[in-house]
Structure 1
Amino acid sequence: MQTTKKKKRPTIRDVAALAGVSVATVSRYLNGKTNKMTNATAAKIKEAIAKLQYIPNPAAREMSHNKSMIVVIVVANVADYFSTEIFKGASRKLEAAGYVPVLLDSGADQSHEKRILNSVNIHGFDGLLFQPLTSDTALIQSELTRHFPVVILDRELKRSPWPQVVTDNYQAARNATRHFIKEGFQHVVVLSSTIKQASTRQERYQGIADSADDVSVIEIDENHFDRDQVYQQLASLLDQQQKTMLFSLKERWLLEFLPRLMQDGLISQSNTRVTGFADTSLIKSICPYAQVISQNPAYMGERAAAVLLKMLKGDSQEIDDIVIKARFAGDESAEN
């Protein structure tokens, strides 16, 4: 049986030999550094590459540049639309700059996030966009031991060594609460994942607490919760004899419980105001009279990616944190 000999893949040395130049000259050409070579030399190299059908070895080029051209994006929970939109927005910006974005999901699990960061420490990523579960700066520093460009997303860390891109959570929650209190809705039922775990929730809750005197809180463990039990808690607090504001600090929980609350007649336009932080138009589809606080996670991802790209280019100047304003549906000034 006759075997077919596999054709040898052409190397950079083969290109140099055919073009009659040095390997270093071919390398400069491949890296776009043609300003110090003549047009004739560049043309010869281009012709040799085409004739040999030479394809550069990406791994070898990465080693020579000490770059992988890969950026890792670690999000809190892909079950949340917010996290996936962050990735989409960041990806558009990174891909346009020639980087490959890789998505890793903490799954709202602190121990899993730690394992992910350990992996990030030892792999050759050029940079990190990070939506951490915790707001504990010291804890993150102890787990993220690698020194490379990092941008924090959606968390405001105290004494953070990294630039941050965040929403004006406190002000947005405060404005919405005051708006409904003026309408006579004095009782606030706050629905949230564990508040102390993330700075976003702490700030949102504080904005509510600083504006209302009558606040009830239902906290939910994202990984371990009984839907019926949470629903019963909500049902007991949504007293139709009292004007009540249902304020969800996370869109997921309105999507989870609002349809059933409306079906059971526990939400009414006359005695209930439905609000919270939302990233889609789904809440309005479920409850047309809901007035939510809209965020733009894709834009947040884009802005964070722009900051990271600036750092990857070696810009060592101090970069200010970026605060992106949320838009409250009941705020007429937001239309301007």
Structure 2
Amino acid sequence: MSEKITIKEIACRAQTSKTTVSFYLNGRTDKMSEETRQRIAKVIEETNYRPSVAARLLNAKETKLIGVIIGDITNSFANQIVKGIDDIAREKRYQLIVGNSNYILENEEDYVNRMLAMGVDGFIVQPSSKFDQLVDKIKNEGKEVVFIDSQVSMDREKWVKTNNYEAVLEASEMLMEKGYDEYIMITADPSVLSTRKERATGFIDALQLKGKQCITHVVDGDVESEALTEMLNKELKFGTRTLIFVVNCFLLPRVYVALKNYRNLMPHTIGLIGFDNTEWSNFSSPTVTTIVQPAYDEGHQAAKILIDSLEGKHEEAPNQILKCNVNWCESTN
């Protein structure tokens, strides 16, 4: 029966209009009497009516859908971002469509096209550095976009990010006081994301302010721990105090595994610091110092900015920088 019954039949049985039933199905019941709501609800329950989502989207001026494009959905940082977005979206009666781009422009473009075809009202995107090529396409469709974690423009777009540069600079300055002799930075390609550039620059600038330099290794995103072990074996010298800074969340556990035979030297000879990963770094032995981003808050604020703009309220600041904190642990203390 649920496949055949229509809104017209629901309206007839509930003794109301099709428009009123449509308002009920879309959650717009604030001006509807309790009696009318109960009649419609009773008929829907009795008939097991399920509205056609596709038909509703085709006819709706707004779909209450938000397209979310994440760079790498596999890490806990991204999970927390999506959770923050979803909590606000649910509160405001929006639903999410989530895609994982792997920071590849072709994937981002494919998701943008498909989500536009689905009729999303707006986008929240963790972009690659090349996403700026897609911004005009989105805006030409009359859609809003908020960037999260990284951004393609500081002055023209809406975005939420963390103080990556300042957080790395300050933490590095504090660590240099411990008297390390050498510094190693391990990062995936910094040109792919603005956050990687900010973190790498923060580390380099902190060292240069003290007249020091670092050895930088740019590695592939799919590098294995074995390759990192071989690289570190060549760099680490007996008796030389060395600080290792891992720029990327996803690389830190691989570097930690690569340092298996050196962990007994932490923190007195070898120091290790990275980003996030608190789901394991607080329980490892030794525990690992990380700069922690407020990922949930980033998602939360990005959703508030987007929905605020979609609803024409313009009460939220369109650009927001949230503060990281350092979780000092045994790998540096």
Q: TM-score, with normalisation over the residues of structure 2? A: 0.83
2-side partners of 1:68 and 1:184: how far apart?
58
Which blocks of at least 5 consecutive residues in structure 2 are unaligned? none
Quote the residue 2:87 is aligned against: 92
* Offset at residue 289 of structure 1 (A): 5.1
Quote the residue 2:135 is aligned against: 141
2-side partners of 1:18 and 1:89: how far apart?
41
234-243 vs 311-320, greater mean Cα deviation: 311-320
Quote the residue 1:111 is aligned against: 106
1-side partners of 2:171 and 2:2: how far apart?
69
Deviations 1:52-81 (A, max 9, x none): 735463534444432222222111112322
Match of 1:115, as an amino acid?
A: D
Quote the residue 1:66 is aligned against: 61
Match of 1:304, as an amino acid?
A: A
Quote the residue 2:217 is aligned against: 218
Residues 28 and 34 in structure 1, CA contact (< 8 A), matched pair in contact too:
no
1-side partners of 2:328 and 2:263: how far apart?
24
Question: Sequence identity of aligned pairs in percent?
Answer: 20
Quote the residue 1:334 is aligned against: none
Quote the residue 1:205 is aligned against: 200
Distance 1:9 1:229, change over 3 A: closer
Residues 279 and 295 in structure 1, CA contact (< 8 A), matched pair in contact too:
no
Match of 1:221, as an amino acid?
A: D
* Offset at residue 299 of structure 1 (A): 2.2
SS in 1 for 2:309: helix
Residues 240 and 266 in structure 1, CA contact (< 8 A), matched pair in contact too:
no
Distance 1:21 1:159, change over 3 A: same
Of 122, 130, 133 in structure 1, the residue corresponding to residue 117 of structure 2 is: 122
SS in 1 for 2:215: strand
Residues 235 and 266 in structure 1, CA contact (< 8 A), matched pair in contact too:
no
Please list, as runs of the form range in 1=range in 2, the aligned pairs for 1:149-228 lying within 5 A after superposition.
149-159=144-154, 161-212=156-207, 213-223=212-222, 225=223, 227-228=225-226
* Offset at residue 239 of structure 1 (A): 2.2
Quote the residue 2:76 is aligned against: 81
Aligned length: 320
Which blocks of at least 5 consecutive residues in structure 1 are unaligned? 1-5, 332-336
Match of 1:113, as an amino acid?
A: E
* Offset at residue 229 of structure 1 (A): 3.3
Quote the residue 1:239 is aligned against: 237
* 1:269 corresponds to 2:267: yes
2-side partners of 1:45 and 1:285: how far apart?
52
301-310 vs 44-53, greater mean Cα deviation: 44-53
Of 284, 287, 297 in structure 2, the residue corresponding to residue 286 of structure 1 is: 284
Quote the residue 2:35 is aligned against: 43
Q: TM-score, with normalisation over the residues of structure 1? A: 0.82
SS in 2 for 1:95: helix
Residues 228 and 258 in structure 2, CA contact (< 8 A), matched pair in contact too:
no
Deviations 1:223-262 (A, max 9, x none): 4x36433322222222232221111112322201213313
1-side partners of 2:275 and 2:169: how far apart?
12
Deviations 1:164-200 (A, max 9, x none): 1101000000011100111112422111111121110
2-side partners of 1:7 and 1:58: how far apart?
10
Distance 1:156 1:239, change over 3 A: farther
Q: Which has the larger radius of gyration?
A: 1
Distance 1:287 1:165, change over 3 A: farther
